[in-house]
Amino acid sequence: MSAESELLEKIRVLSRPVRIMHICGTHERTISRYGLRDVLPAEIEVLSGPGCPVCVTPEEEIDRAIALAESGVIITSFGDMMRVPGSNGSLMDARSRGCDVRMVYSIDDAIAIAKKDPRSKVVFFAIGFETTAPTNAAAILRNPPENFSLLLSHKLTIPAVSELIKEIEVDAFIAPGHVCTIIGVHPFQQFAEQGFPIVAAGFEAVDLLLSIVMILEQMNGSGKYSAENAYPRAVRDEGNVRAQEMMYRVFEITDSQWRGLGTIKGSGLKLNPEFAKYDASVIYADLISEKMKNISYEKSASSLCHCAEILKGKEKPDNCPLFSKKCTPSTPVGSCMVSQEGMCYNWYRYRGADSA
Ligand code: SF4
């Protein structure tokens, strides 16, 4: 019997009605790819939360990057980010209008562009959760050239979960393995103490099935919940302390806006004053506000895209009238259809366009 079959058998024995939310785009990819929802008992519902960094980047932050690109700044970003719609098109659209927007594989690629032409102004559009922030902090500590700066859109997981549990119906969480490698499992204990069993999981099907077994064991146990670790080969309870120190040497916590979730207190990062010379939102504040002064976000908020509800686990992609019709991976209308970690992308790819 395979490990997966054994775990599924345990899940069947422990099964009970439960709504489990994961907060990780890579988890969604594994769950969709291996059809895990289809092999679990029907009473176990696995919801997708706001765990895809591309998906949660709000229109305003993409608009800021486009405003800079339209002002002659070289914008560098990961490939997925280039296709995410802002209020009036994507960075890719800006590139097709002649703006200098370049895809990079790392912050070091962006720094290399700045070093190669000291007269250029190069901005790295830095997105992602606690997983990617330490890498960007390390790059800043290496003193990149002063024609290089960061446009920050980092998000912090814990404040987002704190907000989510106020408004969604969920019983337990699968904690994101990547994020836990940095911050550890301890910060999630507060949710266990509020009545939500939570287990950190890796990215293979077997890892996710194990996390579900561990959640069900907690729920069928004494009623005392805790944050547990089903991914000990990569996650330590205390996380990567050195990476945390580096992150908070360079960045400080600030409020941040999330697509679909609005502004969440203390859920983002900004550069510490010591590193303000690398903060594109400070250096180019006038350029950005001039370009963005006429943008209205009311129109976008009323669009037909259901990403806001999907990112909170309240709806599935089939509920969106645009799914697989106007919105497909090659013609994404919302951010959840762009990235391989997005719920709509995975629903389209693995459940098929016919699921609408
Ligand atoms: S299918 Fe497209 S438009 Fe609909 S919610 Fe998903 S990303 Fe938004």
pLDDT in tens, 251-306: 999 999 999 899 999 999 999 999 999 999 999 999 999 988 878 776 554 478 99
Domain boundaries, the chain: 1-303, 304-348
Distance of CA 63 from the midpoint of ligand 1 (Å): 19
Backbone conformation region of residue 339, classed left if phi is above 0, alpha if psi is from -120 to 50, else beta? beta
CA nearest to 251, candidates 98, 93, 355, 140:
140
- Please check whether residue 23 is in contact with residue 175, taking contact to mean a CB–CB distance below 8 angstroms: yes
Pocket lining: 336 vs ligand 1, CB cutoff 6 Å: yes
Centroid of chain to Cα 256: 13
pLDDT at site 344:
96
Tell me the HSE value of 47 on the side-chain side, using a 13 A CA sphere: 20
| Cα–Cα distance, 202 to 234 (Å, whole number) | 8
pLDDT tens for residues 140-152?
999 999 999 999 9
What percent of the chain is predicted at pLDDT more than 90? 90
pLDDT at site 299:
55
pLDDT at site 298:
64
In degrees rounded to 5, what are phi and psi of residue 270?
-130, 165
Tell me the HSE value of 319 on the side-chain side, using a 13 A CA sphere: 12
Q: How far apart are the first and last CA of the chain?
A: 35
User: Which of 59, 344, 346, when mutated, tests ligand 1's pocket best, judged by the most ligand atoms within 8 Å of its CB?
Assistant: 344
| Residues 6+ positions from 140 with CB-CB distance below 8 Å | 150, 250, 271, 275, 278
Q: Running along the chain, 356 residues long, what does each successive block of 10 average in pLDDT?
A: 92 97 96 96 96 94 96 95 90 96 97 97 97 97 97 97 94 97 97 97 97 97 92 96 97 95 96 97 94 74 80 93 94 93 94 64
Q: Decide the pairing of beta strands 101-103 and 251-258.
A: unpaired
pLDDT at site 302:
43
User: Which of 32, 303, 310, when mutated, tests ligand 1's pocket best, judged by the most ligand atoms within 8 Å of its CB?
Assistant: 310
CATH number for the domain whose boundaries are 1-303: 3.40.50.11740
| Cα–Cα distance, 59 to 53 (Å, whole number) | 13
| Cα–Cα distance, 16 to 222 (Å, whole number) | 15
Q: Mutual orientation of helices 241-250 and 133-141 as an angle, nearest 10°?
A: 60
